[in-house]
Amino acid sequence: MKELLHDIDQWHANGNKVAIATVVKVEGSAPRPVGAAMAVSSAGDLAGSVSGGCVETAVFDEAQEVIKSGRPKLLRYGITDEMAWDVGLACGGTIEVFVEPVAIDIE
């Protein structure tokens, strides 16, 4: 999350809403460790990563929903036969990603 603060401030300054997605659990081997994070704005900006490319687009769509609803969501991604060529993790692990809206003080 640390490395995303600059982007989040910028997006907020431009009048956009923001959600953060963070890897909160990893089972098996996954491309990014617990704490890896990605931020998304209501304008469609994206910074950071949660998996090194495998599930970012799916998380991006979920984050847009979270920005609209204002309600956080816990997502789980793992490799399965039908997901292998869709949104799956190449490394074969399972990750849990928590997506939450960011409320920022008006300063």
Binding residues (CB under 8 A) for another protein: these are 1-2, 5, 20, 22, 24-26, 29, 33-35, 71-72, 74, 96, 98, 100-105
Least Cβ distance, residue 81 to another protein (angstroms): 25
Nearer to another protein, 28 or 86 (CB): 28
Q: Please, which residue, 86 or 92, has the CB nearer to another protein?
A: 92
Nearest to 95, CA basis, from 57, 51, 65: 51
Q: Which conformational region is residue 15 in: left (phi greater than 0), alpha (psi within -120 to 50 degrees), or beta?
A: left
From first CA to last CA, the distance across the chain in angstroms is 21
